[in-house]
Amino acid sequence: MLTRKQHELICFIADRLAETGVSPSFEEMKEALDLKSKSGVHRLISALEEREFIRRLPNRARALEVLRMPERGDAKPAAAARSAAPTVAVSNPSPSTPLPSPANDVIEIPLHGRIAAGTPIEALEGSSMLPVPAALLGSGEHYALEVAGDSMVEAGILDGDYALIRRTETARDGEIVVALIDDAEATLKYFRKEGAMIRLDPANRDYNAQRYRPDQVRVQGRLAGLLRKY
């Protein structure tokens, strides 16, 4: 049997998923249930998980899935308590009502330092994660790099943007890739084959193309999308 707060929380989560397709944040849940701290939300979420009413989606920020709804009589009677403390108005869907599925999911991918969109710089490895809307990514494994420089501005890639990269070791002519040069430096450029050489083209007329032997260049991924902060 669920407590009143557990019942309120699962109804709030279900309503938000039905309305927006996105799980509410812990701050929103705290305010909706009139709790003093987020730790209370964590305890309620854990209790609902243990009772298999909800589950957290792995590697996704703010992603909860409602597995089943409580029976109408599952909450403790608390009409007086409800009037004493204001809470969000929520509906209590029938158990037969189809449960909403999370949409617009956010996936956390590794953020591996900064990459030059001009002169190559050392490729930094980092342990931080970057939340990315799943709709920006296709299939495959992805990581992110923060762009440094302006040599790709004519392709719409600006200094400070986050380049979302799909891991791959191959590329076709004209694709924007992360190219590792001499196993030491990385750059973001258009990939081209020029005779026996590999040419890495900028998207800025103020920069010159870079030419390397094939054994000097390793493709480490193709551009899949961009994130920009304003």
**For 111-158, what is each residue's pLDDT tens digit?**
888 887 665 544 555 568 888 887 777 788 888 999 988 989 999 999
Average pLDDT of the residues of the chain: 79
In the annotation, is 128 catalytic?
no
In the annotation, is 193 catalytic?
no
- 203: pLDDT confidence band, cut at 50, 70 and 90? very high
For residue 218, the cross-strand partners are 180
Are the C-beta atoms of residues 101 and 17 closer than 8 Å to each other?
A: yes
Which listed residue (5, 23, 30, 151) is catalytic? 151
Enter the tokens of residue 155: 């392709």
- One-letter-per-residue 3-state SS of 92-154: CCCCCCCCCCCCCCEEEEEEEEEEECCCCEECCCCCEEEEEEHHHCCCCCEEEEEEECCCCHH
Q: pLDDT higher for 187 or 87?
A: 187
Q: With 90 as the cut, is the pLDDT of residue 17 above it? A: no
Give the domains, in start order, of the chain with CATH numbers. 4-84 (1.10.10.10), 106-227 (2.10.109.10)
Q: pLDDT higher for 63 or 172?
A: 172
- Neighbouring CB atoms inside 10 A of 206's CB total 9
pLDDT value of position 197: 96
| DSSP one-letter code for 68 | -
Q: With 50 as the cut, is the pLDDT of residue 92 above it? A: no
DSSP assignment string, 43-65: HHHHHHHHTTSEEEPTTEET-EE
Enter the tokens of residue 8: 């309120």
Beta-strand relationship, 128-133 and 106-116: antiparallel
Which listed residue (91, 94, 189, 229) is catalytic? 189
- 55: pLDDT confidence band, cut at 50, 70 and 90? confident
